[in-house]
Amino acid sequence: MTADLDLLDGVERRSFDGNERLATRGEPVYGEPTKDGWRVWDAGRSKLGAMLELRMETGLEGGETVLYLGAASGTTVSHVADFSGPTYAVEFAPRPVRDLVGVAEARDNLFPLLKDARDPASYAHVVESDVDCIVMDVATRGQADVANRNRQFLADDGRLLMAVKARSEDVTADPDDVFDDVLDSLESSYEILETTRLDRFHTDHLGIVARPK
């Protein structure tokens, strides 16, 4: 294992089969390689993992309260819960939520919510206010609108970590045009701090770090 001081507490680069890989300490979820209690965080299966691999300044330090939008079956949010505090995982599709509930059984700080991220009022009574971070990976049209609607949960000094999937907005449009439109829409609620294309790991995706206005 080699030290990597720019990573957050609870996330390290560990050696797996002679290769340095991003890893968190926790129970395996999706058949990822494990060693000495550490599990590979596969950036090819995780947009947030890709953002960390590409050295984006997420502002995460470890221990944050997180609202995760678009949790699916728990691939990325399981890693997030490994290094975070309370982690609220919103997913609207019942089938992946069943898997997500299984993932949460080994993580007392992970709270699955069968809710629609486009309707934050439906879980406002559960999610605490002033969360430190919103992680968003929602493959739907109107991704900026979802982020803007959920701004209400974010602390004034919190961070939005968002992966925009261009093809979910408009499969025929140039991805750069889609990303520009999303960024323009976000600026009603957020100050954009950093953007990076995630194509090395996820084609036609943009990683965004922002803070609330």
Tell me whether residue 75 is annotated as binding. Answer: yes
SS3 string, 40-81, reads ECCHHHCHHHHHHHCCCCCCCCCCCCEEEECCCCCHHHHHHH
Residue with tokens 């596969």: 42
Residue 197: exposure state from Cβ atoms within 10 A (0-12, 13-18, ≥19)? middle
139 is in an annotated binding site: yes
Annotated ligand binding at 201? The verdict is no
76 is in an annotated binding site: yes
19 Cβ partners below 8 Å, 6+ apart? none
Q: What span, in angstroms and rounded, lies between the C-alpha atoms of 47 and 160?
A: 13
The Cα 47–Cα 125 span in angstroms is 28
138 is in an annotated binding site: yes
Binding residues for S-adenosyl-L-methionine, as ranges, are 75-76, 91-92, 116-117, 137-140
Binding residues, as ranges, are 75-76, 91-92, 116-117, 137-140
